[in-house]
């Protein structure tokens, strides 16, 4: 199968989950069939242009591991890849003139007041809202020239044929039919001379040899306009693929309340790009069977358009956390340390959790951003201990940012002791002798030490020994395996902490 697809964002805001899934699907599709994925910038609406947005788009795509073979960042044979630059080269001017000459497009000089009156009339009379020709669709050449001489601002519109059924095949939804009398005439060239999406995107798709137009299902209502534009030129239509929308678990449109939607916020929050890609790809696509945890290469190998679903995909934050935790478990020691270091040294991660705490006053978020600062220092000054902590917490954390809060006790000899647990164990007679024995133990096999101590002192179970030791060393009642933990801390840290704890538990 020949595959040429394009990801064509507008530089009007930060890339969010929906944008990134669009780019990801195209990356997987092109990789699956050895095709070409193109990165194009659709920047014809200069009033909404956001400086710095292009850079964030590229940064997001690079972080996610989404690849392109052509585009505005690497060039190619079909450039330029910014529509504003293509407009300056006159690409659209010559092509829109062909439509005017063939009668498939026309000039319209309606004022904003006239357009508003038209819409109000349509509302009052319960008619379809849209521009269906007005006086200008059938205006004579003399009327058009007179309007131009008078200096009236005009637009060029596509003349949708009337009394016709426009039919197109969509890969996901099959045959789609549209009554052309309900399809309004879209603007192709705005009054300022800039092309609209309806025109520039389809023209560029043809000139760049795009084989599949993959986009969100919100564009289905525009599909007959785009299909007819290809027909008006006598061009072969690309294959249309309208992907399902993403909704929250409550069935509503995805928004901030369902979790972060900006792509790079997930980096700050401590998610692995591989896990995020895995999660997003499965929102609306099924690889078949019960496969869930997959690498990028595995997803590309399995990807097919037939696996795309017509029903909306659901954004489930709990599912993302589960996937991220599993991807963390699968990292090698070196890759895990590098990933944790990247988050700990990223000022955006600390700022992300500080902001989250300030907005929600959640102590868990505060613990994370304070923990990240501690971890950043530890990675520089206590590297060996920090790496041991990361290895011990690998099976317990959900995100990379969790390592800071989860392992903060490793780097202080005065960890805060859980008050509820302390109240239960404080004053128990066997604890001072237990702590003294642990302080005096100079070996490294702490499991054998605790078991032999239990046998020698008549303890049938290890809990009365393990819990006080854990509390004295970490301040917590849960965490990594106690014996692995003690081995990581080593005799000197154990001595210092238990000497302090003796006074607290007395």
Using alpha carbons only, what angle is made at residue 486 by residues 481 and 488, rounded to the nearest 5 degrees? Answer: 95
Locate the DSSP E strands across 29-173.
36-39, 70-71, 105-108, 155-158, 165-170
Is it true that 4-85+246-315 and 419-505 share their CATH fold?
Answer: no
Q: Would you state the torsion angle of the CA atoms of residues 89, 90, 91, 92, taken in this order, to the nearest 10 degrees?
A: 140
The closest alpha carbon to 316, from 281, 353, 271, 279, belongs to 279
Q: Which uninterrupted H or E stretch holds 136?
A: none
Contact status, residue 155 vs residue 189, Cβ threshold 8 Å: yes
Question: Where in the chain are the domains?
Answer: 4-85+246-315, 90-243, 333-411, 419-505
The closest alpha carbon to 23, from 263, 328, 311, 275, belongs to 263
Q: Rounded to two decimals, what is the model's pTM?
A: 0.92
Q: Which two tokens stand for residue 367?
A: 């613990």
CATH ID of 90-243, from 3.20.20.60, 3.40.190.10, 3.30.420.40, 3.40.50.620: 3.40.50.620
Q: Which residues contact 424 (CB under 8 A, 6 or more apart)?
A: none
Tell me whether residue 222 is exposed, middle or buried, using C-beta atoms within 10 angstroms of its C-beta: 0 to 12, 13 to 18, 19 or more.
middle
The closest alpha carbon to 498, from 473, 468, 462, 477, belongs to 473
Tens of each residue's pLDDT in the chain, 506 residues: 899 999 999 999 999 999 999 999 999 999 999 999 999 999 988 888 999 999 999 999 999 999 999 999 999 999 999 999 999 999 999 999 999 999 999 999 999 998 999 999 989 998 889 998 888 999 999 999 999 999 999 999 999 999 999 999 999 999 999 999 999 999 999 999 999 999 999 999 999 999 999 999 999 999 999 999 999 999 999 999 999 999 888 877 776 666 667 899 999 999 999 999 999 999 999 998 889 999 999 999 999 999 999 999 999 999 999 999 999 999 999 999 999 999 999 999 999 998 888 888 888 889 998 999 999 999 999 999 999 999 999 999 999 999 999 999 999 999 999 999 999 999 999 999 999 999 999 999 999 999 999 999 999 999 999 999 999 999 999 999 999 999 999 999 999 999 999 999 98
Fold held by 4-85+246-315: Rossmann fold (3.40.50)
Using alpha carbons only, what angle is made at residue 182 by residues 179 and 185, rounded to the nearest 5 degrees? Answer: 115
Question: Is residue 256 annotated as a catalytic residue, yes or no?
Answer: yes
The total of other beta-carbon atoms located within 10 Å of residue 244's CB is 20
Q: Which of 98, 253, 256, 355 is catalytic?
A: 256
Q: What is the CATH number of domain 419-505?
A: 1.10.10.350
């Amino acid at each position: 199968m020949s595959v040429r697809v394009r990801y064509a964002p507008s530089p009007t805001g930060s890339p969010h989950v929906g944008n990134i899934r669009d780019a990801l699907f195209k990356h997987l599709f092109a990789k699956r069939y050895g095709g070409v994925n193109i990165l194009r910038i659709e920047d014809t609406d200069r009033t909404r242009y956001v400086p710095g947005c292009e850079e964030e788009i590229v940064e997001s795509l690079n972080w996610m591991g989404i690849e392109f073979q052509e585009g505005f960042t690497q060039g190619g044979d079909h450039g330029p890849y910014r529509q504003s630059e293509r407009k300056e080269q006159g690409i659209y001017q010559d092509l829109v003139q062909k439509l005017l000459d063939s009668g498939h497009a026309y000039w319209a000089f309606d004022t904003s007041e006239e357009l508003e009156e038209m819409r109000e009339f349509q509302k009052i009379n319960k008619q379809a809202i849209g521009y269906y020709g007005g006086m200008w669709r059938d205006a004579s050449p003399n009327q058009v020239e007179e309007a131009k001489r008078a200096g009236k601002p005009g637009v060029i519109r596509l003349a949708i044929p009337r009394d016709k059924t426009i039919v197109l095949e969509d890969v996901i939804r099959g045959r789609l039919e549209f009554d052309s009398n309900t399809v309004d005439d879209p603007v192709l060239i705005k009054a300022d001379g800039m092309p609209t999406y309806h025109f520039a995107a389809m023209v560029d798709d043809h000139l760049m040899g795009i084989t599949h137009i993959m986009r969100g299902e919100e564009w289905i209502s525009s599909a007959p306009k785009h299909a007819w534009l290809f027909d008006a030129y006598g061009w072969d239509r690309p294959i249309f693929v309208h992907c399902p929308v993403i909704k929250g678990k409550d069935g509503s449109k995805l928004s901030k309340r369902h979790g972060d939607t900006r792509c790079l916020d997930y980096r700050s929050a401590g998610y692995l790009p591989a896990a995020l890609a895995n999660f997003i790809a499965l929102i609306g696509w099924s690889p078949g069977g019960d496969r869930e945890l997959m690498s990028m290469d595995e997803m590309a190998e399995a990807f097919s358009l037939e696996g795309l679903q017509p029903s909306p995909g659901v954004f489930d934050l709990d599912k993302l956390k589960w996937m991220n935790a599993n991807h963390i478990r699968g990292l090698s020691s070196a890759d895990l340390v590098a990933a944790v270091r990247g988050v700990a040294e990223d000022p955006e991660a600390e700022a992300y959790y500080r902001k989250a705490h300030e907005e929600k006053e959640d102590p868990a978020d505060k613990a994370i951003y304070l923990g990240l600062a501690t971890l950043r220092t530890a990675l520089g000054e206590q590297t060996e201990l920090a790496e041991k902590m990361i290895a011990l917490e690998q099976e317990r954390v959900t995100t990379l940012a969790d390592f800071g809060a989860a392992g903060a006790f490793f780097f202080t000899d005065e960890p805060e002791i859980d008050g509820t647990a302390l109240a239960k164990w404080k004053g128990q007679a066997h604890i001072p002798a237990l702590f003294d024995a642990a302080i005096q133990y100079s070996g490294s096999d702490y499991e054998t030490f605790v078991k032999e101590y239990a046998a020698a002192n008549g303890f049938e179970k290890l809990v009365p020994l393990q819990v006080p030791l854990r509390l004295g060393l970490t301040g917590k009642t849960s965490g990594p395996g106690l014996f692995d933990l003690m081995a990581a801390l080593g005799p000197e840290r154990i001595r210092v902490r238990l000497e302090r704890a003796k006074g607290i538990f007395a």
